[in-house]
Amino acid sequence: MAKTDWAEAVKPLLKAYKNKQHPLEYKNTYQLLVMVILSAQDSDRNINSIAPKLFEAFPDMAALAKATPDTLMPYVNKVRNFGNKIKWLTELAQRIKQDKDIPLTMEELTALPGIGRKSANVIRRETKQKPEGVIVDLHVVRVAPRIGIAIGTDPKKIEKQIMESVPQKDWDLGMCISFLGREICRPTNPKHELCLMKDNCTYYSDLKKGKKN
């Protein structure tokens, strides 16, 4: 079997989703940073639902820097793992203090509490920075191995494999795969007939051959 030219194979996916805004409904970099931290292991829908009241109470980094765990709690207590996230947000806000001082380099972002590579990649993507990595969220962990562009379940290893498979200018592919996973390549009953990757998908190929049900 010929080795897949992924740079060519993913072009339809990039055309459909490249530069499409992340599902988090933020209005500025401050809101993006806070919402990305809150969304870890939670749904974007849930974070979007609690965000308006949260940002009415804490409209900017300066306001958040004055927050305490007790004053922040009522606004985020419906978020998964809210205890740790409150700790991260208060510590981060006291460190940054002003919206204008929010860092955007990979190194500075990942040095902040509650922000790993995935979160940093999301923030950098949404603020139009040159990609230093590939977004690998739970959707990508599921879908990338299905397609065949990566193997395993380790986000860091999947990110590395995707980065090695396509040129840097196409590293928005991670978010594109995430959109595909949200809309079409669902955990159960994926919509194969609508999938832009079905001609280059290991899962679909095996399905047609009767290897999967």
Among residues 79, 107, 126, which one ends one of the domains? 126
Quote the pLDDT of residue 212: 55
**pLDDT more than 90, % of the chain:** 95
Does one domain contain both 105 and 148?
Answer: no
Are residues 97 and 139 both part of a single domain?
Answer: no
Of 107, 126, 145, the last residue of a domain is 126
Residue 166 lies in a domain: yes
Residue 200 to residue 108: CA distance in whole angstroms: 37
Q: What is the pLDDT of residue 211?
A: 64
72 and 107 inside one domain:
yes
pLDDT (average), residues 188-205: 95
Task: Look at residue 164 and tell me whether its pLDDT is greater than 60.
Answer: yes
For residue 2, pLDDT over 70 is answered with no
Which is more confidently placed, 2 or 156?
156
Q: Is the pLDDT of residue 15 over 50?
A: yes
Please tell me the predicted confidence (pLDDT) of residue 203: 95
Radius of gyration of the chain (CA): 19
Say if 53 falls within a structural domain.
yes
Contacts of 163 (CB under 8 A, 6+ apart): 133, 134, 171
Considering the domain boundaries, does residue 195 fall inside one?
yes
What is the pLDDT at residue 3? Answer: 84
CA atoms within 13 A on the CB side of 107: 0
pLDDT digits (tens, 9 = 90+) for 74-98: 999 999 999 999 999 999 999 999 9
Same domain, 97 and 177: no
Let me know whether 43 and 112 are in one domain: yes
Q: Tell me: pLDDT of 1 over 60.
A: no
Residue 2: CB partners within 8 Å, gap ≥ 6?
Answer: none
Domain co-membership, 40 together with 76: yes
Q: What is the DSSP string of 134-195?
A: ----HHHHHHHHHHTS--SS-HHHHHHHHHHHS-GGGTTHHHHHHHHHHHTS-SSS--GGG-
Look up the domain containing 170 and give its range. 6-18+134-208
Position 213 in a domain: no
Are 12 and 33 contained in the same domain? no
Q: Please report, for the chain, how many H helices and E strands are present, in that order.
A: 13, 0
Q: What is the DSSP letter of 167?
A: -
Tokens of 184: 């079409």
Shared domain for 107 and 151, answered yes or no, is no
Residue 124, CA distances (Å) to 38, 55, 85, 127 in order: 17, 21, 20, 5
Same domain, yes or no: 93 and 157: no
Provide the 3-class DSSP secondary structure of residue 201: coil
Verify that 13 and 50 share a domain, yes or no: no
Global pTM reads: 0.93
Mean pLDDT, the chain, as a whole number? 96
CATH number at residue 76: 1.10.340.30
Q: Is residue 24 part of a domain?
A: no
Task: Looking at the structure, tell me whether residues 113 and 33 fall in a common domain.
Answer: yes
* Cα–Cα distance measured from residue 169 to residue 12, given in angstroms and rounded to the nearest whole number: 15
Given 64, 95, 126, the domain boundary residue is 126
CATH (domain of 148): 1.10.1670.10
Structural domain count, the chain: 2
Residues 158 and 81 in one domain: no
82 contacts: CB under 8 Å, gap ≥ 6 = 73, 76
